[in-house]
Chain A
């Protein structure tokens, strides 16, 4: 017989035997998986960013289907629309959540907080933070080595060479929180995006005494409490010598910002203020 025919027969028979085994095993040991897991994970963005708190999109989908609940589950990348889609797949009620965006709560730029020495060690904030307070001298301030930029999977951050601070590109930010975790000094915070992207926050987390903080940085929060008094909605708290604006309570009235003696309160995307008639010494008396 022609060897080629032998080969065809042998291989053909082997193939049939294996096909039978595979068929049998498939029938016998079939894993019945909830089809919704696939559906949910299909709907997810597939970025595997970890913003939901799970290892990846698949793990998140599995957790949702397993718990049969959307409580405390939110994919910041997909936002409310996606959450509604998932709710529809699961037959559950979706909870609306205000969209969030990351903000950098430090304004200690090279100009505001001049460098006192040159740092040339490992280019990692985590390491530099362990080593010293940093060239600016502020023990809570941004070190400018870009651990956060490195951690961002969405190209939503870059390092501004001029200020030495990270900048967040709002359109790209999905509030996954990777940068928040990567910052060894907890400077970055996720805040509600706000109406028309308007936000107001204290861009300082320094907990030192006012005089010491001010020495290192022009725009440090000195914990004077003026903004707390100015706020009519009890949205500002003063803790550890640093003010914090609660974004849930803040109504964006902008009363606090002009009160700050150091300019530590940052306003974003607001229209320019109307210039009021200045109160000078002369017309005050009248």
Chain B
């Protein structure tokens, strides 16, 4: 029987329009915009200045804080300036702007397509290498990977869980990566296993990708300890806590990290990036981005350099359709609408979704009818209607008491609400405010 998590969940139409479209490498544009704050945690600090010549793969910004990541130049050329540029948040943030000249790579980077299987580095060296390569969680949360690989004292990891669920509708980046780079991913998984010292790894894939399951099964056949787990299609299975529940039937306690139950979860794209970093010495400078939408003429999977403006990707996919209503950075459930196509691709950009005006329009809002559908589908066992009301009436005490901080912002409640209430909007507001209050209390 297929496994899945037990509590809540929804199954939105999958709409995987770009499935089985080969990953197409996009040539970097003339000007590239690399935001300094691409990862969760502290933004990086630029180490280059205006007029500096940089090579592809050269370190251009350093992550100095504990939760922070390195950034490398995605192209070779000259640093135009370090200025503010619009990013996916809609705000202008510090960005390194580079003018491209040719494509000259930093020395020591192996650009061949050969598969390198032997892992020569020690666990400590692997973590260092991952840190130096600027790898962050490529599922979209962009949490620095090296921090996740450092198992805290007194805790022991038992399982490495590879997140290949891709439960967001429309997105196919991970799916296609598995079809094309299965062997590399498996080596990446082994590297991660060695780094955290576990002998069991589970690759969780939803059952709507049978070819990927088959393909990965073939690739892991020769490796003991790595298994592929087919999962029932259910959103939000790609959320860390839900995936752990589905794969090993353990529940992460409220406010705790997965390591509490002996698990480390990494995205399948991250595993590939780790392979490239450790075996090929190639830092994270490009990623797979799905560009899709019902009216997009050529839904595609692109390998884009970090810093490529979204407009270029959309152009390659056939341009913005006429009746386009919203452009969303990410998937339809958790993504955020962007307000400019100048926004660059960052390490966390898993997809660009173009929605028609009709699709993107919010439904009319009615009063809550207490149907409890939101409570039924909430994968965290919360009461979204109550949290939504708390957010609406600015009652942060109730929000905190009702565990608003446990919300994973999957949006299942809002998706299922027959009254079209902006539940997640209000819950996000509550999370933000309660987070502020809790932090101020600590200080």
Question: Do residues B429 and A122 form an inter-chain contact, with CB atoms below 8 A?
Answer: yes
- Taken together as a complex, chains A and B put the C-alpha atoms of A137 and B91 apart, in Å, by 8
The stretch from B33-41, B311-319, B420-428 touching chain A is B420-428
Q: Is A121 an interface residue (CB 8 A)?
A: yes
Residues on B with C-beta less than 8 A from A130 are 428-429, 432
Q: Which among B337, B392, B426, B429 has the highest number of chain A CB atoms within 10 Å?
A: B429
Q: Is A116 an interface residue (CB 8 A)?
A: yes
Q: Is B208 an interface residue (CB 8 A)?
A: no
Q: Is A117 an interface residue (CB 8 A)?
A: yes
Residues on B with C-beta less than 8 A from A132 are 89-91, 339
CB closest residue in chain A, given B430: A127
Question: Do residues A209 and B422 form an inter-chain contact, with CB atoms below 8 A?
Answer: no
Question: Do residues A139 and B92 form an inter-chain contact, with CB atoms below 8 A?
Answer: yes
Residues on A with C-beta less than 8 A from B89 are 131-132
Residues on B with C-beta less than 8 A from A134 are 90
Question: Do residues B429 and A124 form an inter-chain contact, with CB atoms below 8 A?
Answer: yes
Q: Is A170 an interface residue (CB 8 A)?
A: no
CB closest residue in chain B, given A121: B425
Question: Do residues A133 and B92 form an inter-chain contact, with CB atoms below 8 A?
Answer: yes
Q: Is B84 an interface residue (CB 8 A)?
A: yes
Residues on A with C-beta less than 8 A from B90 are 131-134
- Taken together as a complex, chains A and B put the C-alpha atoms of A208 and B90 apart, in Å, by 14
Q: Is A34 an interface residue (CB 8 A)?
A: no
**Which residues 99-130 in A have Cβ within 8 Å of B in the complex?**
116-117, 120-122, 124, 126-127, 130
- Taken together as a complex, chains A and B put the C-alpha atoms of A139 and B426 apart, in Å, by 21
Q: Is A92 an interface residue (CB 8 A)?
A: no
Question: Do residues B92 and A208 form an inter-chain contact, with CB atoms below 8 A?
Answer: yes
- Taken together as a complex, chains A and B put the C-alpha atoms of A131 and B426 apart, in Å, by 12
Residues on A with C-beta less than 8 A from B337 are 117
Question: Do residues A209 and B428 form an inter-chain contact, with CB atoms below 8 A?
Answer: no
- Taken together as a complex, chains A and B put the C-alpha atoms of A116 and B340 apart, in Å, by 9
CB closest residue in chain A, given B336: A131
Residues on B with C-beta less than 8 A from A139 are 91-92
Q: Is the interface of A mostly helix, strand, loop or mixed?
A: loop
Q: Is B439 an interface residue (CB 8 A)?
A: no
Minimum CB–CB distance for B50 against chain A, Å: 15
Residues on B with C-beta less than 8 A from A121 are 422, 425
Question: Do residues A126 and B429 form an inter-chain contact, with CB atoms below 8 A?
Answer: yes
Minimum CB–CB distance for A120 against chain B, Å: 5
Residues on B with C-beta less than 8 A from A209 are 84
Residues on A with C-beta less than 8 A from B432 are 126-127, 130
Question: Do residues B428 and A127 form an inter-chain contact, with CB atoms below 8 A?
Answer: yes
Question: Do residues B91 and A122 form an inter-chain contact, with CB atoms below 8 A?
Answer: no
- Taken together as a complex, chains A and B put the C-alpha atoms of A209 and B92 apart, in Å, by 11
A-B contact count (CB 8 A): 47
**Which residues 281-301 in B have Cβ within 8 Å of A in the complex?**
none
- Are A117 and B422 CB-contacts (below 8 A) given A133-B91, A212-B92? no
- Taken together as a complex, chains A and B put the C-alpha atoms of A208 and B425 apart, in Å, by 28
Q: Which among A120, A122, A127, A137 has the highest number of chain B CB atoms within 10 Å?
A: A122
**Contact flags (1/0) for B174-193 with A, using CB distance below 8 Å?**
00000000000000000000
What size tier do the contact residues of chain A reach?
Answer: 10 to 19
**Which residues 186-218 in A have Cβ within 8 Å of B in the complex?**
208-209, 212
Minimum CB–CB distance for A127 against chain B, Å: 4
Question: Do residues B84 and A208 form an inter-chain contact, with CB atoms below 8 A?
Answer: yes
Question: Do residues B339 and A116 form an inter-chain contact, with CB atoms below 8 A?
Answer: yes
Question: Do residues B429 and A127 form an inter-chain contact, with CB atoms below 8 A?
Answer: yes
**Which residues 302-346 in B have Cβ within 8 Å of A in the complex?**
336-337, 339-340
Minimum CB–CB distance for B229 against chain A, Å: 36
CB closest residue in chain A, given B86: A133
Question: Do residues B92 and A122 form an inter-chain contact, with CB atoms below 8 A?
Answer: no
- Taken together as a complex, chains A and B put the C-alpha atoms of A126 and B426 apart, in Å, by 10
**Contact flags (1/0) for B413-443 with A, using CB distance below 8 Å?**
0000000001001101100110000000000
Minimum CB–CB distance for B413 against chain A, Å: 14
Residues on A with C-beta less than 8 A from B362 are 120
CB closest residue in chain A, given B429: A127
Minimum CB–CB distance for B205 against chain A, Å: 32
**Which residues 83-134 in B have Cβ within 8 Å of A in the complex?**
84, 89-92
- Are A122 and B339 CB-contacts (below 8 A) given A133-B92, A209-B84, A212-B84? no
The residue that A122 contacts in the complex, of B340, B422, B433, with Cβ under 8 A, is: B422
Question: Do residues B91 and A127 form an inter-chain contact, with CB atoms below 8 A?
Answer: no
- Taken together as a complex, chains A and B put the C-alpha atoms of A135 and B340 apart, in Å, by 11
Minimum CB–CB distance for A210 against chain B, Å: 13
Question: Do residues A126 and B433 form an inter-chain contact, with CB atoms below 8 A?
Answer: yes
**Which residues 331-376 in B have Cβ within 8 Å of A in the complex?**
336-337, 339-340, 362
- Taken together as a complex, chains A and B put the C-alpha atoms of A129 and B90 apart, in Å, by 10
**Contact flags (1/0) for B148-182 with A, using CB distance below 8 Å?**
00000000000000000000000000000000000
- Taken together as a complex, chains A and B put the C-alpha atoms of A127 and B409 apart, in Å, by 14
- Are A127 and B425 CB-contacts (below 8 A) given A117-B339, A133-B90? yes
- Taken together as a complex, chains A and B put the C-alpha atoms of A146 and B127 apart, in Å, by 49
Residues on B with C-beta less than 8 A from A135 are 339
Residues on B with C-beta less than 8 A from A127 are 425-426, 428-429, 432
Minimum CB–CB distance for B24 against chain A, Å: 29
Minimum CB–CB distance for B384 against chain A, Å: 14
**Which residues 375-432 in B have Cβ within 8 Å of A in the complex?**
391-392, 422, 425-426, 428-429, 432
Minimum CB–CB distance for B248 against chain A, Å: 35
Residues on A with C-beta less than 8 A from B392 are 122
CB closest residue in chain A, given B93: A139
CB closest residue in chain A, given B339: A117
Residues on B with C-beta less than 8 A from A116 are 339-340
Minimum CB–CB distance for A118 against chain B, Å: 9
* Nearest 8 interchain pairs by C-beta: A132-B90, A122-B425, A127-B429, A133-B90, A122-B422, A117-B339, A133-B91, A139-B91
7 new A-B contacts, CB < 8 A, other than A126-B429, A133-B92, A139-B91, are A116-B340, A121-B425, A122-B391, A126-B432, A126-B433, A137-B339, A212-B92
A-B contact pairs, 9 of them (CB 8 A): A116-B340, A117-B339, A122-B426, A126-B433, A127-B425, A131-B90, A131-B336, A132-B91, A133-B92
